[in-house]
Amino acid sequence: MMLQPLPSVQVLDVLCPMHVQVSATGHITHCGPTLRKLRPQGAWEGERLLEVFRVLRPRGVQHMSEFEDVTGKRLHLELRDAPRTTLKGVITKDAEQTGYILNTAFGISFLDAVRDFELSGADFAPTDPTVEMLYLVEAKSAAMDASRKLNVKLESAKKAAEKQAVTDGLTGLLNRRAMDDRLQLFIASATPFALMHVDLDFFKSVNDTLGHAAGDHVLLNVARIFRELTRDNDVVGRVGGDEFVLLLPGTAPQEELSRVGRRIINALEVPVNFKGDACRISGSIGTVISDSNSPPDADQMQDDADVALYASKHAGRGCQTFYHPDLRLAETAGTAPVSAR
């Protein structure tokens, strides 16, 4: 018994449901069942291939005779009917060497095509990975969605945590917000105290010449100095890049505060070694002592400390100035005030 080969039409409809068979004259003689759905109104058999498809690439394929040159190559096709679905294709001579067989696939346009033509799983050859690609698209968007939700959640948690943070991330000293709270607390509890505003001198040049790592190293050392030279109930905070505030409770006389300031400045001026380079800084201090007679105002005290600090800077840095109303006169007059060196 001779086995009769299946007609190629039947074979190809199973293996390649998106193929077309074309005669030597360029007319479609057969269309696969899935491709047929892409042109629901139009006829296929008898139409000229190039009137149904436009060849986007390679460019310039205008005539059937030119298909000879592109057999076996990757074709980019577009259906001329709306919605102008794009397809990938490959064309080859048929077994009789008279006509052509063009097979097509959706390529990247599969998402739109499946929707536009309401295709189902049965429309794809069992070997076609399109359904798996659709699965992947949905699975990935679900995972992305969960991931996005997590990111939003983490972002808002981070913001909330930052808002609640009371310490400076680098030095572990209190931050500006926490210092403001402590200052209010001192005032509310009528605790007598001194406010020392310390501004590092020459810190910027360390940062600029030796880099931020050196700068951070110096700041950590500064924080260590403050911790060592203050008492347990003193409050130290970093309120700016190179600005620190010390709240010193008690009724220490100005001379004692002068000594504290001097010790701090001396310690700051000890060069710090960073990878072989000596980092040299100093500090200027403006100090204000709470008035025992009238309840102090936080903003006023900070402003007074600023004025005293400015006087220290003006006096050549590396010194401490105690606030006195005359400093404001000197500030406006532009004359150098007297500083406690």
Partner 1 sequence: MHGLVLKAVQLFVTDCYGAAKWAELCAVAGFDFDDFEPMLMYDRATGDTTLTALEQVMRRPVAEVCEDIGTYLASHPNTEGLRRLLRFGGANLEEFLHSLDELPDRVRLAMPDLILPRVELREHSFHSFSLTCYGDIPGFGHVLAGLVRTMIDDYGALAMVEHGGGGQGIETVLITLLERSFTEGRDFELWGDAA
Active site residues: 242
208 binds partner 1 (CB under 8 A): no
Amino acid at 229: L
163 binds partner 1 (CB under 8 A): no
Q: How many CA atoms lie within 13 A of 211 on its CB side?
A: 5
147 binds partner 1 (CB under 8 A): yes
**Shortest distance in whole angstroms from residue 146 CB to partner 1:** 5
Burial class (CB in 10 A: 0-12, 13-18, 19+), 255: exposed
Burial class (CB in 10 A: 0-12, 13-18, 19+), 68: exposed
Say if residues 198 and 287 touch (Cβ distance below 8 Å).
Answer: no
Please pick, from the candidates 114, 198, 285, 301, the single residue that binds partner 1 as defined by CB under 8 A.
Answer: 114
Please pick, from the candidates 6, 14, 150, 157, the single residue that binds partner 1 as defined by CB under 8 A.
Answer: 150
**Shortest distance in whole angstroms from residue 143 CB to partner 1:** 5
The phi and psi torsions of 156 (rounded to 5 degrees) equal -70, -30
Rounded distance between C-alpha atoms, residue 65 and residue 126, angstroms: 34
Q: Report the 10 Å Cβ neighbour count for 313.
A: 16
| Piece in contact with partner 1 (CB under 8 A), picked from 96-104, 141-149, 271-279, 328-336 | 141-149
Please pick, from the candidates 10, 41, 97, 120, the single residue that binds partner 1 as defined by CB under 8 A.
Answer: 120
160 binds partner 1 (CB under 8 A): no
Judged by beta carbon, residue 147 or residue 300, the one nearer partner 1 is 147
Say if residues 16 and 105 touch (Cβ distance below 8 Å).
Answer: no
Number of residues that bind partner 1 (CB under 8 A): 24
Please pick, from the candidates 87, 119, 198, 308, the single residue that binds partner 1 as defined by CB under 8 A.
Answer: 119
Rounded distance between C-alpha atoms, residue 104 and residue 329, angstroms: 89
Q: Report the 10 Å Cβ neighbour count for 325.
A: 8
Closest alpha carbon to 103 in 12, 169, 7, 206: 12
196 binds partner 1 (CB under 8 A): no
Residue 85: both structure tokens together? 């679905």
Rounded distance between C-alpha atoms, residue 49 and residue 145, angstroms: 43
Q: Mask 63-102, x = binds partner 1 (CB under 8 A)?
A: ----------------------------------------
157 binds partner 1 (CB under 8 A): no
* Total residue count of the chain as it appears in this document: 341
| Piece in contact with partner 1 (CB under 8 A), picked from 26-34, 36-44, 146-154, 248-256 | 146-154
146 binds partner 1 (CB under 8 A): yes
15 binds partner 1 (CB under 8 A): no
11 binds partner 1 (CB under 8 A): no
Judged by beta carbon, residue 65 or residue 141, the one nearer partner 1 is 141
**Shortest distance in whole angstroms from residue 117 CB to partner 1:** 10
Helix axes 203-210, 212-229, angle to 10 degrees: 150
115 binds partner 1 (CB under 8 A): yes
Residue 96: both structure tokens together? 């009789």
| Piece in contact with partner 1 (CB under 8 A), picked from 36-44, 130-138, 229-237, 307-315 | 130-138
Judged by beta carbon, residue 45 or residue 138, the one nearer partner 1 is 138
Alpha helices in 66-175 (DSSP H): 67-70, 110-116, 130-164
Query: Secondary structure of 39-59 in the HEC alphabet?
Result: CCCCCCCCCEHHHHEEEEECC
Contact residues for partner 1, defined by CB under 8 A: 111, 114-115, 118-122, 131-132, 134-143, 146-147, 150, 153
